[in-house]
Structure 1
Amino acid sequence: MNSQVTDQMGFSDRLENYDMFNLMLETFGKMFDDETKVYQKYLGAEFPTWRELVPDASLHFINSIPSIDFPRPSLQKTIAIGGISVDIEKIDELDSGFSKILEKRPKSMLISFGTLAKSSDMPMDFKRNLLEVMRAEPNCTFIWKYESDDVDFARGVENVEFVRWAPQTALLKDSRMTAFLAHGGLGSTNEAAFLGKPTIMIPIFADQSRNSNMLARHGMSIVLHKSDIGNIPTFRNAFKEILHNEKYRLNAEKVSEMVRNQPLNPKEVVVKYVEFVGK
């Protein structure tokens, strides 16, 4: 889960991956043991533990899209339903306010680090570096999801729009949105894949590095370490590449076409397998 490596591993990478796998087994094992104590307190000590329930389950649904995910061994009862939460047809159209923002300049980029890692808590030197990179792209409007109204640090930067909330899927669906800077959460990763938007991923913790590398292996994403925000040349070059190199857009559109045309619809898969087990 916390692995920093891709499927192209040398010996040291494999060793790191092995160590991380065992660390996660231990960490989640302790966490689930604690949860077991809580529910057995109310349901009785005879209620099965998670170590009994997991192998006894008929199915395991996982939030994975096989056509773009890393290759890995899997059990027959492990069913991938990645993208089940992305319903293209039900995404609302942008309201007039956001639509006007997208009309301001030829290119637009959405910047969002999710709900846990708040942009407002970012070190000030990182914020200033972001602004410097924005200044270097005057023909792009940057919509920055920012959790505070205190934005005096950005005074004088005309091509940044601060919003406390953004209709992420509606923005990513819009053809005027050029690229997406995100943290690599699985929700944002799946949305970028389905909606065909090139990304710069700056993973913070947990599965975000894995998710980010998953998109990068398809040529639609540039993955940076969070410390790279402090490296202006690296940071500026990533923005230049994602905004102006057409290969990222073309690869993102190819991934979108692939996941939208999966042979089996994730929602239908859930229904069919649940009905099968029920019968």
Structure 2
Amino acid sequence: MKIFVALVCLVVFHSSKCAKILGVFPMPSPSHYILGSSLMKGLAEQGHDVTVIAPFVEKNPPKKGSYRQIELTGFVETHEQRRKEMKFFEMEDINSFLVLPIFFYVIGNVTEATLSHPNVQELLQSDEKFDAVIIQEFMNEAHKGFATHFNAPMILLSPIGACAWVNPLVANPAPTSYVPDAMLSYSSQMTFTERLTNTVFHFYTHLLYHLFNFPKHARLYNEYFPNSLPFYDALYNVSLVLLNSHPSLNQPVPYVPNMVDIGGFHINPTKELPHDLQQFLDDSKEGVIYFSMGSNLKSAEFPSEKRDAFLNVFSKMKMKILWKWEEDVLPGQPKNVKLGKWLPQQEILAHPNVKLFITHGGLLSTTETIYHGVPVLAIPIAGDQKLNAHRIVNEGFGLSLGYKEISEQTLTEKLDELLNNPKYTKNAKKRSELFHDRLVGPMETAVYWVEYVIRHRGAPHLKVAGVDLPWYKYMLLDVGVFILIVLLLSLYIFCKISKKIFSLCSKSKIQKVKRS
């Protein structure tokens, strides 16, 4: 049955008209770019004419279709400078209520820099036409002007699934009773205090959006797209949301019809490993621990006391360690530790001798470890990493260790538990089984829905009516106020009638007493 469905989908894909598609992925972070470029390369492989606005140059452009890049020169250098100034390892304890305004400020600057970039301005001033515009949704609201400017259906790509900056744009419900905000490290089973915090944070987020972020982006939108739709009309004119999520990766939550899970779409069939890595992994009969803190967090920037804790623990193990280390030298490097400034993560996780993945808990790394069924030790620092780490622990395929808790003792305890208790590997394999059990692959799903939106001219039939409702109607505040007024009025009338009856009864009693 699956083979038949896949064949039908392939026929549909290849019979689709070649479309011109613009992708807008301005965030100068490799993890964000991987998602955008993977989707656009997948569309190009299906024969579409693709244009990508991004800070990075694609090293392996697709061989099929057409793949053109509009490079946001200077973005990567600026981001690297800011990354060093921000000192990510010191952000573990920063309050979530403070993170949001920082995000608004930083992403607002990236949004404006994108719109004012000479290469982007050249595109905007051209006579080009596009059949669809795909925008990475990350609080960059003014970029929705690309879709209105080119008069094309707007498709959003959410890098972390359904969240507070995506749901309102398509009127998707997200009850705070069991859907935690992405910036809070809660599970679906929240305590009263957590539900209270989650609810307050939910309203705080929407308040900041409407009082700060939307007005700022409205100004940018009106400046760079003066002849387009009004800003708030463009804001909610979303045809489709592609979500980097899946029930095997994320908590199941409600979706409106124009939201589609494609989590794992960036994962490609594994390639051959470089000879030295292949030999290292093959010869590691005791097993290998793979250690990487992702692209923004650099292991080489660990303070000496944290680094030494890892080195002391690793030096006592029979297993080998493959460590993504961004410098040429690791002081005190044990013999069983192999370093690499860049490592092919998917190919490494696919190797049968890899027994554990030590990671920061980013969604891409979490997705890849689930794909290959490898247990995890998560060391979350910021963003959605704490939420992902919470899910890793809840689903039983890994443990979490706070950055400030890193010591020789805590590392030894966590590693001993993960490596000696078979339940973690068993649960990791189960999550992998759930991940792979799909009707069609995530990339095929993504391509189908993009082409669907193009075929049906924006697919307006998928949009729910809630998008067009004012916030007070959507939240039924007018109905609530009406019911409250009716109840108060009824109570008032009841009190008046009761008082009148009481008064009449009192008079009647008095008259009876006088007669007697």
Same fold (TM over 0.5): yes
Q: Residue 5 of structure 1 is aligned with which of 183, 186, 202?
A: 186
| Higher alpha-carbon deviation: 73-82 or 172-181 | 73-82
What is residue 170 of structure 1 aligned with on the other side? 347
SS in 2 for 1:143: strand
Residue 262 (structure 1) aligned with residue 435 (structure 2) = no
Provide the C-alpha distance between the structure 2 equivalents of 1:86 and 1:97, rounded to a whole number of angstroms. 23
Question: Aligned in 2, Cα 1:53/1:186: closer, same or farther, shift over 3 Å?
Answer: farther
- Contact 2:370 2:432 (8 Å CA) reproduced: yes
User: Contact 2:284 / 2:353 at 8 angstroms: preserved in 1?
Assistant: no
AA aligned opposite 2:191: G
Unmatched segments (≥5 aa) in structure 1: none
2:288 counterpart of 1:108:
yes
1:222-237 to 2 correspondence within 5 Å? Answer: 222-230=399-407, 232-237=408-413
Deviations 1:192-246, CA, capped at 9 Å, x for gaps = 111111011111101111122223222111112111213x322211111222221
How far 1:253 sits from its partner (Å)?
1.0
Find the aligned partners of 1:101 and 1:270 in 2 and give their Cα distance. Answer: 36
Q: CA deviation at 1:36?
A: 4.4
| SS state at 1:149 partner | coil
> Which residue of structure 1 aligns with residue 264 of structure 2?
83
Residue 45 (structure 1) shift: 6.3
Deviation digits for residues 49-108 of structure 1 (CA, Å, limit 9, x no counterpart):
3x4334321211111112442132332222111111112xx2212121012222145110
Q: Which residue of 2 aligns with 1:123?
A: 303
Distance 1:141 1:25 in 2: 48
Give the Å deviation of 1:258.
Answer: 1.4
Give the RMSD, CA atoms, in angstroms: 2.1
Change (3 A) 1:108 1:36: farther
Q: Is the 8 A contact 1:194 1:260 kept in 2?
A: yes
More displaced stretch, 98-107 vs 55-64: 98-107
* Whole-Å separation in 1 of the counterparts to 2:200 and 2:346: 36
Are 2:422 and 1:243 equivalent residues in the alignment? no
4+ runs deviating over 6 angstroms: none
Write the letter of the residue equivalent to 2:357: F
Q: C-alpha distance in 1, partners of 2:350/2:277?
A: 13
What residue identity is the alignment partner of 1:96? H
Match of 2:321 in 1: 142
Q: 1:43 aligns with which of 225, 246, 252?
A: 225
CA positional deviation for 1:2: 1.1
> In structure 2, the residue corresponding to 1:227 is in which secondary structure?
helix
Equivalent of residue 63 in structure 1, options 226, 241, 244: 244
Instruction: Find the aligned partners of 1:258 and 1:270 in 2 and give their Cα distance.
Output: 19
SS in structure 2 at match of 1:79 = strand
Q: 1:196 to 1:41 in 2, by over 3 A?
A: same
- CA contact 2:249–2:367 (8 Å) conserved in 1: no
Cα contact 1:143–1:160 (8 A) shared by 2: yes
| Cα contact 2:289–2:355 (8 A) shared by 1 | yes
SS in 2 for 1:178: strand
Q: CA deviation at 1:26?
A: 5.0
- Following superposition, the deviation at residue 122 of structure 1 comes to 1.1
Correspondence for 1:18 among 176, 193, 199: 199
Over 3 Å counting, the alpha-carbon distance change for 1:23 and 1:160 in structure 2 is farther
Q: Whole-Å Cα distance in 2 between the matches of residues 52 and 214 of structure 1?
A: 36
> Alignment partner of 1:59: what SS?
strand
Matched position secondary structure for 1:269: helix
Flag the structure with larger Rg.
2
Contact 2:294 2:360 in 1 (8 A): yes
> What SS does the corresponding residue of 1:170 show, helix, strand or coil?
helix
Q: Which amino acid aligns with 2:394?
A: R
Partner deviation per Cα, 1:99-123 (whole Å, 9 max, x = no partner): 2222145110111111111111111
CA distance, structure 1, for counterparts of residue 263 and residue 230 of structure 2: 29
Distance (Å, rounded) in 1 between the aligned partners of 2:393 and 2:438: 20
Query: Match of 1:241, SS?
Result: helix
Please say if residues 68 and 215 of structure 1, whose CA atoms lie closer than 8 Å, have aligned partners that are also in contact: no
TM-score, length of structure 1 as denominator length: 0.89
- 1:33 Cα shift? 4.8
8 Å contact kept, 1:68–1:218? no
How many residues in Structure 1 have an aligned counterpart in Structure 2?
272
SS in 1 for 2:354: coil
Match of 1:158 among 331, 335, 340: 335
Match of 2:429 in 1: 253
Structure 1 208/48 Cα, relative in aligned 2: closer, same or farther at 3 Å? Answer: farther
Q: Which amino acid aligns with 2:322?
A: I
- Separation in 2 of the partners of 1:260 and 1:149? 38
1:15 Cα deviation from its structure 2 partner: 2.0
Report the alpha carbon displacement of residue 270 of structure 1 after superposing the two structures with TM. Answer: 2.0
Distance 1:28 1:262, change over 3 A: farther
One-letter amino acid of the structure 2 residue matched with residue 94 of structure 1: L
Residue 40 (structure 1) shift: 3.3
Q: Does structure 1 residue 72 correspond to structure 2 residue 253?
A: yes
- 8 Å CA contact retained: 2:285, 2:353: no
**Matched AA of 1:115:** S
Structure 2 residues without counterparts, runs of 5 or longer:
1-181, 457-516
Q: Which moved more, 1:260-269 or 1:178-187?
A: 260-269
Tell me how far apart the structure 1 counterparts of residues 213 and 383 of structure 2 sit (CA, whole Å). Answer: 15
Aligned-partner Cα distance in 2 for 1:158–1:244: 23
